[in-house]
Amino acid sequence: MVRRDPAQEKEVLEWIEAVTGQKLPPGRYEDVLRDGIAICNLMNKLSPGSVSKIQTSGGSFKLRENIERFQKAAKAYGVPEEEIFQTADLYDMRNIPQVTLSLYALARLTQKHPEYNGPSLGPKMADANKREFSESQLRAHEGQLNLQMGYNKGASQAGHGGMGNTRHM
């Protein structure tokens, strides 16, 4: 399991506050996010209307629904399913580092949405760097021998004796 990084957790909370424009309640990282309200509000800022109903009170089942709604909205926003944390990772605090990684993945993905112009979190995503080569450039290497073509200063497998045989010394 990945170790927790308090600096990353602090950055995530600051990013959520900056995007939503709302001050998060004080407390430990996992306690602030556990009810799912903050992350649902975050998704609604990134993609308005993506989380239609946010439970602000109720038992654990109601609050777990917030997390599930966030997960569904994050998938719809484009976060790969393998990068989204499980409900138990946050609510039961089983894998808090995965929650942090998921929120970083969401933040990274905002860079690919042209309608988003808010604060960023994490590294900048790479842009495509497509290259065009002429036919002569593509064929330029054909006259060269590489080391996999049998010329390696005389080294060969001559006398190897085949697969499965023991080596005689």
Handedness of CA 7, 92, 95, 17 (dihedral sign): negative
d(CA 167, CA 128): 50
Specify the CATH number for the domain of residue 97.
1.10.418.10
Does 37 map to a domain? yes
For residue 20, what pLDDT is reported? 94
pLDDT tens, position by position, 124-165? 777 778 888 888 888 887 776 665 555 556 666 666 666 666
Contacts of 132 (CB under 8 A, 6+ apart): none
Tell whether the model's pLDDT for residue 21 goes beyond 90: yes
**Structural domain that includes position 42:** 30-112
Does 59 map to a domain? yes
Contact (CB, 8 A) for 8 and 101: no
In 21-59, which residue ranges form alpha helices assigned H by DSSP?
29-33, 37-46
Does 45 map to a domain? yes
Nearest partner of 33 among 52, 49, 15, judged by Cα? 15
Q: With b meaning 16 or more CB within 10 Å and e meaning fewer, what string describes 85-96?
A: bbbebbbeeebb
Amino acid at 47: S
pLDDT tens, position by position, 66-98? 999 999 999 999 999 999 999 999 999 999 999
Handedness of CA 112, 115, 120, 121 (dihedral sign): negative
Does 88 map to a domain? yes
Does 165 map to a domain? no
For residue 169, what pLDDT is reported? 64
Does 119 map to a domain? no
Average pLDDT over residues 13-27: 95
Does 122 map to a domain? no
Does 123 map to a domain? no
If one counts the domains in the chain, the total is 1
